[in-house]
Structure 1
């Protein structure tokens, strides 16, 4: 005889089947994924001693990514080796 409803059988695995509503949509297919945190650009005002390498290292964790900062601010940077205190740069989101 089968076990009573709701009883568990030793050694049996529990399996949950998706439940469909009247429209045929299952709870699994109706689930939505919420977006993660939105990455935003950062604004940096250059201080004495700053370098594009240092800004990239601080923002991205890797100085070699200074090219991203340079490309985003190319109109204000003649030479990536020469930036000046007071310049305001946009650091693109990672």
Structure 2
């Protein structure tokens, strides 16, 4: 089955004040049936200035739980979105610079 993976990301400053909240789309992937509570291994998320990006440096993987599965029956073809547990990124602490 084809799934679209998404994750809410809250970007905060060092004082824990919210700067922005975004829905990061990991993309579409083919997978066996998923259930809420399943774990997904992906790259960690980081910041390039205020943009959420993958941190693809060596050893930077994260295990995230599936917290919701949404079937959009209005769109044709039907879209199945998988929401991963939300993450909080701190400006200055989760910056990855220009490393690719």
TM-score for the superposition, normalised by structure 1: 0.25
TM-score, length-scaled by structure 2: 0.24
Structure with bigger gyration radius:
1
Q: Which has the higher helix share?
A: 1
Bigger strand fraction: 2
